[in-house]
Amino acid sequence: MKLAPDQKLDIREVLKDLEHYRPKRKGWTWRVRREDQQIGPFIYRNTSETLKNSIPLPSAHNFGDIDPQCDFVITTEIASGRFEDDLRRMRMAAWHGADHIMVIRTTGQSHIDGLIEGTPEGVGGVPITRKQIRASRKTLDAIEEEVGRPINFHSYVSGLAGPEIAVLFAEEGVNGAHQDPQYNVLYRDINMHRSFVDAAEAKKVMADAGILQLDGAHNANATAKEAWKATPELFVQHAVNTAYSRAAGMPPEQIALSTVPPTAPPAPKMRLDLPYAIALREMFEGYKFRAQQNTRYMEANTQEATITHVFDTLISRLTRTDVQSTITPDEGRNIPWHFNSIAGVNTARQTLMSTDGLGDLLAIRENDSLRQQVREFKERAVLFLEEIMEQGGYYASVAAGQFVDSGHYPERKADGIARDPKRGDGAGSVIQRRPDYGAPVCSHFGNNAYAVTGKRPCEAYGGCTLCDPAKIRYIDEVDPTDNVEKRLEQPRAEREVGLLRPEVEKHGDGVVCVTLFVPARQRLAEAAALEMAKHMRLENPEVISCRLMHPAEGSVFEIRGILDTAVRLEDLPVHIHKEALPDTEIESWVRPRHIHVVAATVGEDEHSVGLREILDIKHGGIEKYGFHCNYIGTSVPLERVLEVAQTTGAQAVLISTIVTHAGVHKQNMLRLHELAAERGLRSRLILIAGGTLVTDDFARECGLDAGFGRGTKGRDVASFLVEKLRAAETE
């Protein structure tokens, strides 16, 4: 399957012959790091290989549209609940620099008590079929070729089907997964013995498949009442899972600690979180680190979440991090929307690229205060672990409620999570293995009756699914009403007739978001905002964010609603956008020719801001390319404009004209053309108009050479002038 940048992802092509598809690669892949790499005008210290296809950060147009890639792997979390929509989001995220795609959360695979008939797997919380996993990997294989970088697919090996899921992931080329028996015990109340027995088998399968393992210790930070006090136990949770993983056969380079800074502003974040990060990395030297923002403090305000995300990513840059996970800034209020998933990715890469080489410029001041804090974290963790051993081990300490207690250890508040070792989901389900047990796959923890020195164990029975994918049993859709073919019926029908709807979660869901400032007391303003949304024809409007500006003066609201409107593509005006010439090409042509232009706002127009942005070097105007700009003011008569053009020998005239009563802006453009013709100047002057509602077509109808409206930059005007003047030279 091949993707083209100018064509939409075809889900039908993804599903075609899916039962025969095999992943192109298995195991985790790290970015290829580059030091002192020249990209555009800059030399970068901490980068990786650039992409074949990507979308640069918004400000990149000022630097030649460069798109340097940071040295960290960047995560995005996809959670639409429909895999066919996930695939499109994966593609968008990859173009923005994400190379670790996590599919998470709807029902909760880790909540499922056993295998579901026909769907014996769970991916990141969504009860899902092998078909859906394979479709994701097939699509990512194609996206890899499109962007030119390997992309890691990730989910969860948890719940009561952990070993089965691990085998599935190994078969289907899943590259990373969470696996932490303590997560099952503490947060899902799965029986302790069952969880750890399952984990040994799952970890061995993951190790053999090269799957990067993330633990779940960070959940204590998102659960404890005072997260910054639960940090000593996080060290212990990391240690337990890391040691257990090593015992199960997993090499250290496949073990990643999932870390979360415990606070957010207005807490003194850097003073609390940075020493914790340093202590953790020193204590677990030799392992990988995956850093993530703390979801506990994410409110409906996306700006607040984004700012905290920047600080968390700064901590990642100041300390050692291998994977920077991104949390979408709207996670605190809804299923993450398409564009907010991308916003999370861009926040991370913008922060990481802006701090490129920071370690060469400064170092964390290793003063007595910092060292004392770091040592205290370690000491409390060691004491915590010693107490566990004195209590009789992990099971006993969990039963005593020692974990996720919000007291600052060794202080206790008796509000921790307590689990009975003899109870929980799956209690009593562990069966002692017979001495002659034969494992169904080669990757297996413990004795295997089929094991023969120098041979693969499965050779005794003709091959297992890990060694011979042809033995995999492929199960297609089992639900006759809720399956991808049914879900695609409406989108396909609308696309075939050229209909287009807005969306943020699922294809054509019609969800839109509007922002309103309402100048009234908060409760009254909220009621007014909802009523205003109804007048905008939004169905089921709801407030998803309220930011108080002043108790009496007003609040800002974000309103979510359904815009049940589809537009027909064939009815839309199509304007062919011509790309501007590169800056270097414009400047190299203009500089030696000493080209003069005359510019003014005309008629009764006193608005000069827009025109000055087109001219002034400060705003990226045409001056920076070497144009000599003769700006003669506001409300200038057209006759005066042409007089100055004649005396200065200008090659172009730029006028700015706003929309006024009686169509004065149109009269100004028509009259400029007529006056230039009367004075014999029309053939040697390029006449250009600009304004809020000026369009190129409108200006040309009035006899001018071009018109520029909203969003025009100096580069657009400069490019047009160069192409027009260059063409005149060759005539």
Cα 443 from Cα 204, distance rounded (Å): 6
For the chain, give the number of residues. Answer: 731
Output the pLDDT for position 669: 92
Buried b or exposed e, range 566-575, using 16+ CB within 10 angstroms: eeeeeeeeee
Mean pLDDT lowest for which of 362-376, 422-436, 460-474, 477-491?
A: 477-491
Cα 254 from Cα 288, distance rounded (Å): 8
328 closest CA partner among 291, 289, 295, 290: 295
What would the pLDDT profile of 152-201 be if each residue is shown by its tens digit?
999 888 777 788 889 989 999 999 999 999 999 998 888 999 999 999 99
Q: Is 293 left (phi over 0), alpha (psi -120 to 50) or beta?
A: beta
CA distances from 136 to 94, 250, 519, 670 (A): 13, 26, 47, 57
Cα 568 from Cα 21, distance rounded (Å): 36
Name the 3-class secondary structure at 660: coil
Name the 3-class secondary structure at 500: strand
Cα 297 from Cα 273, distance rounded (Å): 14
Bridge partners of residue 102, in order along the sequence: 77, 154
Name the 3-class secondary structure at 39: strand
What would the pLDDT profile of 55-107 be if each residue is shown by its tens digit?
999 999 889 899 999 999 999 988 777 888 999 999 999 999 999 999 864 33
520 closest CA partner among 529, 530, 511, 512: 529
Tokens of 361: 């410029």
- Torsion of the alpha carbons at 222, 224, 227 and 229, rounded to the nearest 10: -150
Mean pLDDT for 309-323 is 95
CA distances from 468 to 22, 131, 201, 456, 459 (A): 11, 18, 20, 12, 10
Mean pLDDT for 650-673 is 84
Output the pLDDT for position 77: 87
Cα 369 from Cα 190, distance rounded (Å): 41
* R_g of the chain, CA atoms, integer Å: 31
Cα 16 from Cα 467, distance rounded (Å): 24
| DSSP secondary structure of 405-416 | --S-TT---S-S
Name the 3-class secondary structure at 316: helix
Residue 127: which pLDDT band, with cuts at 50, 70 and 90? Answer: low
* SS3 sequence of 110-166: HHCCCCECCECEEECCEEECHHHHHHHHHHHHHHHHHHCCCCEEEEECCHHHHHHHH
Q: Find tokens 């880790």 and name the residue.
A: 110
Mean pLDDT for 333-342 is 85
Q: What are phi and psi of 153, to 5 degrees?
A: -100, 135
What would the pLDDT profile of 442-479 be if each residue is shown by its tens digit?
999 999 999 988 899 999 999 999 999 999 988 777 66
What would the pLDDT profile of 247-295 be if each residue is shown by its tens digit?
999 999 999 999 999 999 999 999 999 999 999 999 999 999 999 988 8
Enumerate residues 6+ apart whose C-beta is below 8 A from 372. none
Residue 45 CA, chain-centre distance (Å), reads: 23
Output the pLDDT for position 659: 61
Per the CB < 8 A criterion, the answer to whether 475 and 51 are in contact is no
Number of H helices, E strands in the chain: 22, 25
Is this prediction's pTM over 0.75?
yes
Cα 305 from Cα 222, distance rounded (Å): 15
Cα 83 from Cα 126, distance rounded (Å): 9
Per the CB < 8 A criterion, the answer to whether 218 and 259 are in contact is yes
Cα 360 from Cα 666, distance rounded (Å): 58
Dihedral sign of CA atoms 456, 458, 462, 464 in order: negative
pLDDT of residue 123 exceeding 60, the answer is no
Question: Residues of the chain with pLDDT > 70: what percent?
Answer: 95
Per the CB < 8 A criterion, the answer to whether 415 and 406 are in contact is yes
What would the pLDDT profile of 513-550 be if each residue is shown by its tens digit?
999 999 999 999 999 999 999 999 999 999 999 999 99
pLDDT of residue 120 exceeding 60, the answer is no
Residue 200 CA, chain-centre distance (Å), reads: 33
Q: What angle do CA 118, 141, 156 make, to 5 degrees?
A: 45
Output the pLDDT for position 158: 78
582 preceded by a cis bond (ω within 30 of 0): no
Exposed/middle/buried for residue 648 (C-beta within 10 Å: 0-12, 13-18, 19+): middle
- Fill in the DSSP letter of residue 315: H
Instruction: Determine the straight-line distance between the first and last CA of the chain, rounded to whole angstroms.
Output: 48
Angle between helices 638-648 and 664-678 (to 10 degrees): 40
User: What are the structural domains, with CATH classification, of the chain?
Assistant: 225-237+248-421 (3.20.20.440), 498-571 (3.30.30.60), 583-730 (3.40.50.280)
Output the pLDDT for position 687: 97
pLDDT of residue 580 exceeding 70, the answer is yes
Mean pLDDT for 676-682 is 94
More confident residue, 603 or 439: 439
Q: What is the mean pLDDT of the chain?
A: 90
What would the pLDDT profile of 401-428 be if each residue is shown by its tens digit?
999 998 889 999 999 999 999 999 889 9
277 closest CA partner among 265, 267, 266, 289: 289
Residue 720 CA, chain-centre distance (Å), reads: 36
Count of Cβ atoms closer than 10 Å to residue 439 Cβ: 20
Cα 39 from Cα 36, distance rounded (Å): 9
Enumerate residues 6+ apart whose C-beta is below 8 A from 157. 165, 166, 169, 177, 178, 179, 202, 206
Q: What angle do CA 281, 285, 287 make, to 5 degrees?
A: 95
Mean pLDDT for 428-443 is 92
Cα 50 from Cα 33, distance rounded (Å): 10
Output the pLDDT for position 693: 77
Bridge partners of residue 179, in order along the sequence: none
The tally of CA atoms less than 13 A away on the side-chain side of residue 52 is: 11
Per the CB < 8 A criterion, the answer to whether 292 and 77 are in contact is no
Residue 676 CA, chain-centre distance (Å), reads: 53
Name the 3-class secondary structure at 549: strand
Per the CB < 8 A criterion, the answer to whether 163 and 198 are in contact is yes
Buried b or exposed e, range 310-334, using 16+ CB within 10 angstroms: ebbbbbbbbbbbbbbbbbbbbbbbb
276 closest CA partner among 197, 328, 220: 220
196 closest CA partner among 180, 212, 210, 207: 180
Output the pLDDT for position 109: 38
CA distances from 105 to 80, 109, 424 (A): 9, 8, 22
Bridge partners of residue 259, in order along the sequence: 291
Output the pLDDT for position 478: 65
